[in-house]
Structure 1
Amino acid sequence: MTAESTPGPGIPEAPGSSGRRHRVKGRRRKPRARRRGARVAAWTAAGIVVLGGSGLGYVYFKLNGNIHSVDINQMLGTDRPEKVENGSQNILVLGSDTRSGTNKKLGGGSDDGSARSDTAMIIHVYKGHKKASVVSIPRDTLIDRPACTDTKGNTYPAADGVMFNSAYSTGGAPCAVKTVESLTGVRMDHYLEVDFAGFQKLIDELGGVEVTTTKDITDHDSHLNLKAGTHRLDGEQALGLVRTRHGVGDGSDLGRIQLQQAFIKALVKQVKDIGVFTSPKKLYDLADTSTKAVTTDSGLGSVNSLISFAGGLKGISPANMTMVTMPVRYDPNNGNRVLVEKTKAELVWDALQNDQPIPEAATKGTATGEANGVVAN
């Protein structure tokens, strides 16, 4: 089943008012200054969250230093799909399942320091930056991966019939972006990666996220045990929810994607309801956690760029988002893998390329994972 509504997230057309708010001087201790803090906006498929930070003095430089970025454009060169100049933008968002540092305790898998991507979404922001469509790419999709080069200059040959998430584990962000562009024929304008530890901590600092489960969900692998009903999930529970695949549906990655999409809508609503925080310390803690949690392309690799980016998300509500899964079918030779339904997938990619809504025919009759278990409140 595909979770969907009408299209959402926007990208600001310029730094605009967010930028001007940072240049006010001599009023830091007055109540009005609090309203001149950064605007908060977030979404995650895995936990995908971006937070605009404060631009005051050392705080600005501290937050700026937190952000890790990758120069995707330089690394991929000119052998890419053509950039469409129609006002729309495409952002590849990955949830990083790294096995090192704090994430090692959360990963639940190999402790060799390797990294995987268990969540991948293309967010298409339509012209005017008022609507968006989110297309989830199942990690277990068998694809042909192009030759690519990682951030250290190591090159990897092309590979046929490999899992989609092998692109990230093989060559990191550059390889993941190149693989998505090869698969879709759509250029990715930006890249965002969110790690487990930062996602969990940020959910806690937001005060949790409220969701309703329509069925009991129990998954020992992801440490999740939820009875049917309404819950305010803390960071650990939220991470368990977006990672579980055995607690709902047929145990496939497709079922997990449906939970991730429902959680993203709940998260968007939570952030929208919070608005601008009145506590400067709370605001700083959120900004500090968020900027540490993300890796971006160089175009978003500064606090000012993230503020500008996040500022365009402030009007988003769950009703403004269309969320689908890339059209796939189960692999007849391996029930744990899926194959791209190429004809239907082309309907999705053509719609994004031409800044049009994704037609219902694109996802009708495709594999879903049968995980109808969570709804956003």
Structure 2
Amino acid sequence: MTEEELRAAFARHEVLTPPAGPVRAAIDRVAAVRRRRRQRVRAAGVALALVGALGVGIPQFAPDPARDATTVAGPVSAAPGEALNVLVLGLDVRWAPEVPPLADSVQLVHIPADRSRPYLISLPRDLEVDIPGFHRDKLNAAFAYGAGFDHHPDRTQGYDLTRRVVADLTGVRVDAGVVLTFSAMRKATDVLGGVEICLPQQVESVHTRRVYPAGCHRLDGVASLDLLRQRRGMPDGALDRDRNAQRFAAGVVRQVAEQGALTDPVRMSRILAAITPELTVVGNMSVPDLLRVVPELSSADPVGLSLPVVWPEVPSSPTSTGGTGGLRLRADPQAAPAFLTALREDRLAEWAAANPGRVTRLR
């Protein structure tokens, strides 16, 4: 075929070629959808982590390679219109990273079915509990038993055993969870430009000798971690530390809301980059499921509560020891049953209104 014949053949078929504009636009739309989906996945992981430290006390983002969601073995997820419970574990691994860490902060984030506002429930780390497959010990030890006592602890298993203990203790289904190191909290705090924490009483650090007066303070990551580690010398020891963790969580929630971080992809990516190496999101809910909960909340301001406990009948007291030390707390036989019933029946707002003295002042 001559050159002229080829040109003529191309000319005859050129009119049949579809315009490139619509095809290019379709490709751009697909790319945009995939980009938004990636941003939603990132946002959900960070939102859960922040709504949780959020006491929420937040080690490696652990996606299931077989699914486009972050899941591990666990109970059935909450259906639409049901209450949601998220277990948040805070690990302090600064002393010996190769040793299975204890869960120094154990918080249950309860989101009621009416999606009114989150409730941050502190479960004391020194609470004596039954640990399935082992024996009675402190609640914080459940993580170490599950993770294993070798040089490569399995943090997913540590979470799962703690989840079982918490589910047995409270009688509620745990739908998802967050495990974070104190280092992740420090980094997230700095990325947010500091977090405001409001203290009802003065706290003096036994580690740095820094004094944190009563009142509201904007603290950077180092100062926040220093404060959240304090229990010695405080009236209720580790219980006061749990309350300060709730106050920190409330401060993070306010800071995130003020900055619009959950809707700002640039700021969200900065937060994610800071904490991803030390964050694990676990549970039977998919990332989109978790993401959908955030805009459903009528108020992002959490309510701080604690499982009512009693001190063991021994001569020493939390004030004299500066903390619980080797003591093991027990659930208050008078107050705890009513509290746990309210939690199981999704009536915490009613319980808090009837027991204002047991609500943690967060601001």
Asked whether 1:359 is paired with 2:348, we answer no
Q: 1:361 to 1:279 in 2, by over 3 A?
A: closer
Equivalent residue number for residue 9 of structure 1: none
Secondary structure at the counterpart of residue 173 of structure 2: coil
> How many pairs are equivalent?
305
Asked whether 1:350 is paired with 2:333, we answer no
Asked whether 1:322 is paired with 2:307, we answer no
Equivalent residue number for residue 72 of structure 2: 71
Equivalent residue number for residue 258 of structure 1: 243
Asked whether 1:170 is paired with 2:145, we answer yes
Asked whether 1:289 is paired with 2:274, we answer yes
Secondary structure at the counterpart of residue 72 of structure 1: coil
Equivalent residue number for residue 171 of structure 2: 185
Max Rg structure? 2
Look up the equivalent residue of 1:331 and give its one-letter code: P
Structure 1 residues 241-280: aligned runs within 5 Å? 241-246=227-232, 248-250=234-236, 252-276=237-261
Q: Which has a greater percent of helix?
A: 2
Structure 1 residues 31-180: aligned runs within 5 Å? 38=43, 41=47, 42-43=50-51, 44=53, 46-48=55-57, 71-73=72-74, 87-97=82-92, 99=93, 107=94, 109-110=95-96, 112-147=98-133, 158-160=134-136, 162-171=137-146, 172-180=158-166
> What CA distance in whole angstroms lies between the structure 1 residues aligned with 2:183 and 2:174?
26
Look up the equivalent residue of 1:338 and give its one-letter code: L
1:178 Cα deviation from its structure 2 partner: 0.8
> What CA distance in whole angstroms lies between the structure 1 residues aligned with 2:209 and 2:286?
34
Q: Is the 8 A contact 2:55 2:120 kept in 1?
A: no
Secondary structure at the counterpart of residue 270 of structure 2: helix
Q: Relative contact order (alpha carbons < 8 A, sep ≥ 6): 1 or 2 greater? A: 1
Q: 1:178 to 1:212 in 2, by over 3 A?
A: closer
Equivalent residue number for residue 76 of structure 1: none
Equivalent residue number for residue 25 of structure 2: none
Q: Is the 8 A contact 1:93 1:192 kept in 2?
A: yes
Post-superposition Cα deviations, 1:172-206, rounded to whole Å, max 9, x if no partner, equal 11110111111122221112112122111011001
Look up the equivalent residue of 1:144 and give its one-letter code: D
> What CA distance in whole angstroms lies between the structure 1 residues aligned with 2:105 and 2:254?
20
Q: Is the 8 A contact 1:324 1:363 kept in 2?
A: no
Q: 1:137 to 1:206 in 2, by over 3 A?
A: same
Secondary structure at the counterpart of residue 179 of structure 2: strand
> What CA distance in whole angstroms lies between the structure 1 residues aligned with 2:163 and 2:256?
28
1:259 Cα deviation from its structure 2 partner: 1.2
Secondary structure at the counterpart of residue 91 of structure 1: strand
Q: Is the 8 A contact 1:116 1:165 kept in 2?
A: yes
Q: 1:359 to 1:273 in 2, by over 3 A?
A: same
Q: Is the 8 A contact 2:57 2:90 kept in 1?
A: yes
Look up the equivalent residue of 2:73 and give its one-letter code: I
> What CA distance in whole angstroms lies between the structure 2 residues aligned with 1:85 and 1:277?
22
Equivalent residue number for residue 209 of structure 1: 195
Secondary structure at the counterpart of residue 359 of structure 1: helix
Post-superposition Cα deviations, 1:198-243, rounded to whole Å, max 9, x if no partner, equal 1110110011112344543221337753244542111111122222
Post-superposition Cα deviations, 1:139-177, rounded to whole Å, max 9, x if no partner, equal 011222222xxxxxxxxxx313x2111111211111101
Q: Is the 8 A contact 1:46 1:242 kept in 2?
A: no
Look up the equivalent residue of 1:159 and give its one-letter code: H
Equivalent residue number for residue 4 of structure 1: none
Secondary structure at the counterpart of residue 335 of structure 2: helix
- CA RMSD in angstroms comes to 4.3
> What CA distance in whole angstroms lies between the structure 2 residues aligned with 1:47 and 1:113?
23
Asked whether 1:339 is paired with 2:330, we answer yes
Q: Is the 8 A contact 1:47 1:199 kept in 2?
A: no
Secondary structure at the counterpart of residue 329 of structure 2: strand
Percent same amino acid among aligned pairs? 25
Look up the equivalent residue of 2:306 and give its one-letter code: T
In structure 2, stretches of 5+ residues that fail to align are 1-28, 147-157, 318-323
Look up the equivalent residue of 1:354 and give its one-letter code: E
